[in-house]
């Protein structure tokens, strides 16, 4: 599961995070149903991942100066 790997959490914990809006990007359901999967906007996710990469690069550069 992508979220488990990306945010180091169990599947149960990850399942509760969208409801509480505790993910690093906004999550929503496309239809009003508790059984509908939670979705995230791919552009929001890409922006978040780019920011993580940039921070990792800054950290790496500081360690390797």
Select the more confidently predicted residue: 16 or 51: 51
- The helix (run of H) or strand (run of E) holding residue 42 is helix 42-63
For the record, the structure tokens of 42 come out as: 């791919």
Place 1 in a pLDDT band, splitting at 50, 70 and 90.
very low
What 3-state class would DSSP assign to 44? Answer: helix
What is the reported pLDDT for 14? 65
How many Å apart are CA 44 and CA 56, to the nearest integer?
Answer: 18
What 3-state class would DSSP assign to 59? Answer: helix
Backbone φ, ψ for residue 46 (5° rounding)? -65, -40
pLDDT digits over 25-63, tens only? 898 889 999 888 888 999 999 999 999 999 999 999 999
Average pLDDT of the segment spanning 10-25: 73
């Amino acid at each position: 599961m992508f979220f488990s790997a990306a945010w180091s959490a169990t599947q149960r914990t990850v399942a509760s995070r969208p409801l509480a809006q505790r993910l690093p990007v906004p999550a929503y359901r496309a239809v009003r149903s508790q059984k509908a999967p939670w979705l995230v906007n791919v552009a929001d996710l890409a922006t978040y991942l780019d920011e993580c990469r940039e921070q990792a690069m800054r950290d790496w550069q500081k360690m390797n100066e």
